[in-house]
A and B are shown apart, each in its own frame.
Chain A
Amino acid sequence: MNAPMILSPEALAKIDKATTKYPPGQKRSAVMAALTIAQDEKGWLSTETMDFVAQCLGMPPIAVYEVATFYSMYDLQPVGKYKISLCTNLPCALSGANAAADYLKKKLAIDFNETTGDGQFTLKQGECFGACGDAPVLLVNNKRMCSFMTREKLEKLLAELK
C-alpha cells in the first residue's frame, strides 16, 4: 500500500509539474515525461521504477510497461554511464555514419547494444534524429546532440567523456 519512494522529491515535483500540462483526469498524458524524468534519475527503467510511475499517475502497470517498451529512448536494461546513440539511417550513412560506427565500435571494443566492461559506454544504433544535414550525428544520453561527427570530433568526444 505505502510503496517506498523510488524517486527523489525533485523528480516527483517535476512529474507533478508535467501533469499540469494536461486536462484534469488526463494525468496519464504525462507518462512519457514521467518515464523520462525517472530514467534521467535512475539511469534506466526497472520494473520497480515503472511500477512507481504507474502508481504516481494512477495507471495500470502494464500500460506503463507498454509505453516504456514502445519508445526506443527508454532503456529497460541498465546502460553505461554514457549511452551513445548513433544515427545510421540512409542520409547519415551517405555522410559518414558507417565510418563513425566502425570507429566507435573499434575504439570502445563493443558492438551496437553492448556496454564496455568498465560500464562507461553503451553503443546504440539510432534511427533518424531529424538532423540529417549535420550528419553524422549522435546523441549522448538521449539529450545531447553532437553534429558532424568526423573521426577527430569522435576522438575528442570520447576523451572528454572518459
Chain B
Amino acid sequence: MTCLHGRHINPIILAGLDGNNWCIGDYMRRGGYSALKKVLSEKIPPEQIVNELKKSALRGRGGAGFPTGLKWSFMPKSFTGEKYLICNSDEGEPGTFKDRDIMRYNPHSVIEGMAIAAYAMGAKTGYNYVHGEVWDCYERMEVALEEARAAGFVGDNILGSDFSFQLYNHHGYGAYICGEETALLDSLEGKKGMPRFKPPFPASYGLYGKPTTVNNTETLACVPWIVLNGGEKFLSMGRPNSGGTKIFSVCGHVNQPGNYEVPLGTPFAKLLELAGGMRGGKKFKACIPGGSSMPVLPAHIMLATDMDYDSIAKAGSMLGSGGVIIMDETVCMVKALLRLSYFYFEESCGQCTPCREGTGWLYRVVNRIEHGQGKQEDLDLLVNVADNIAGRTICALGDAAALPVKSFITHFREEFEHHIESKQCLVPTYA
C-alpha cells in the first residue's frame, strides 16, 4: 500500500483511508456527500460556491496551476444550452500517480466534487476521463458511480432538488497527450487525441462545441471540503496563492515511494523525510519536482525549497502535477534525459511541426551523446532546438519536451561534456 498510513500532514482527500473503505457507505460515514446535501438543501447560489473557491486559492492540480475559482467563472452564465464538466483523470505524467489513488481509494470524493462543480457552473453532464492503463480505476469508478446513482447523488433531480447531473466514465487507451485538456476533448468526441488551438478556449467551445470546464481529479476532490469548511480555511492550510494541501507523488530513489498529502509550503526536506529518506543512504543528486515535464533541479536547490507553487517557481522549476522524482548519485543525467526525450518523442501527437519533428531530433542527438557519438556543438544545438520548439506549438507538450533538455544541460552540463569527450559515463550505470 502506498499512501494509506498516517504519514500525511493534515490530509483532506487521503484522510482516513485504509485501502478498503472506498464504498459509498464508508465515504458517508466519513462525512461524505454532506457538502452536496448542504449545497442543495440550502440552495447555495452557484456564484457563492465560485466565490468560495476563489477565496480558497485552490489552483489546478493537473499541472498548469490555474486558479480553479477563476476558471469556473469563465463558464458563460447566460448560456442556456448544454454545458459540460470534465474530470481529467488521464494521469500519465511520469512521476505522477496521485489521481490513481484518489480514484481507487476515495472515488466518491471525485463524484461529489464533480456534482458540486457542475451545480456551480450549470453543467448538466459530466465525464470522467480515466487513463487507459489504470483499468482497475476505471472499473472502480464505474462501480462507485453506480452507487452514487443508486443513492441519488447523481442523475435526475438530485436529492429531490431541481438540479440534475448525468455523469459517465470514459476510458483512454494509451496516449499521454490526452491529458492535455483539448486533446482530451477530441478523444472524448471519438477522434484522435489531438490538442486544439486556443482560442477558442473550452469555456466557450469545448466538448461537442459546447461550453466546457476541465479540471483535474485532485482539484475536484478538494471541492467538497472547501464547500463544507470554507475557502478561507482551505487557504490558511497552505500558503497565500497556494491554498490547501497537495498530494505529492514521491518516486525514485527514496525508501518509501508513494503519495504524501501535505500542506502547500511544506519544506521539501520534510517531504523527503516523510518518504523515508534516500534509498540505501545514497547521496541525493537531483529532483524533478512537478512531473517529468518540469525542469530538473540539483539537490542543494531542492533542499532549500518549500513545496508550493511560488517557491518552486522561484527555485527555477514548477510544481506542475506534484510528481516528485528523486534521483541519487548513481544516476547518469544523460541517460535520464535520454529516457525522457524518448517519452516526448513517442507521445507527441504529431500534428504540429516543431513538436513532431523537433522531439525526434532532440531524442536522436541525446541518444548519440549517450552512445559516445556526441560533439561539443551538440549541446548548443540541443538548447537551440529546444528553444525552437518551446512556445511555438499548439499545446504545451512542446514545452514539456524542451524544458527537461534545457534544465538537464543547464544544471549538469559537465556530465554531458564528459560523455562527449571521453565517450563514457561520469557515474556508474544505475540498476
Contacts and interface: CB of A to CB of B under 8 A. Distances in A.
Asked if chains A and B come from one complex, the reply is yes
Interface of A: 21-23, 26-33, 35-36, 57, 59, 63, 66-67, 70-74, 88-91, 93-96, 98-99, 126-135, 139, 142-145
Given A33-B171, A90-B95, 8 more contacts: A67-B192, A91-B251, A91-B325, A128-B176, A129-B131, A131-B97, A135-B257, A139-B133
8 A-B pairs with least C-beta separation? A28-B190, A73-B174, A72-B174, A129-B133, A130-B91, A71-B173, A21-B168, A143-B135
A62 to B, nearest CB: 11
Contacts of A63: 190-191
A32 B171 contact: yes
Contacts, number: 166
Contacts of A66: 191-192
Nearest to B193: A70
B171 A95 contact: no
Contacts of B214: none
Given A94-B253, A94-B331, A71 B190 contact: no
A71 B336 CA distance: 25
Interface stretch (B263-271, B338-346, B352-360): B338-346
A52 B127 CA distance: 26
Contacts of A70: 175, 192-193, 349
Given A36-B173, A93-B339, A127 B346 contact: yes
Nearest to A67: B192
Contact of B257 (A74, A99, A132): A132
B258 interface: yes
Give the interface centre of B91, B131, B190, B253 by most chain A CB atoms within 10 Å.
Answer: B190
B192 A129 contact: no
B300 to A, nearest CB: 20
Contact of B97 (A30, A32, A73, A132): A132
B431 A132 contact: no
Contacts of B94: 89-91, 127-128, 132
Contacts of A36: 171, 173
20 contacts: A29-B170, A70-B193, A90-B292, A90-B336, A90-B343, A91-B323, A93-B339, A95-B252, A95-B257, A127-B92, A128-B94, A130-B93, A130-B131, A131-B133, A131-B134, A132-B95, A132-B251, A142-B173, A145-B133, A145-B136
A126 B94 CA distance: 12
Q: What is the size category of the interface that chain B forms with chain A?
A: 35 or more
Given A26-B190, A145-B136, A133 B251 contact: yes
A67 B178 CA distance: 12
B347 to A, nearest CB: 6
Contact of A99 (B82, B91, B192, B431): B431
B100 A127 contact: no
A134 to B, nearest CB: 7
B79 interface: no
Contacts of B253: 94-95
A40 B172 CA distance: 15
Interface in B188-229: 188-193, 208
A57 to B, nearest CB: 8
A71 B132 contact: yes
Interface string B160-191: 00000000101111111000000000011111
A96 B189 contact: no
A94 B327 contact: yes
Contacts of A72: 173-175
Interface string B112-139: 0000000000000101000111111000
B96 interface: yes
B190 A31 contact: yes
A99 B431 CA distance: 7
Contacts of A145: 133-136
Contacts of A127: 92, 94, 174, 176, 343, 346-347
Contacts of B347: 127
Contacts of B339: 88-90, 93
B105 to A, nearest CB: 13
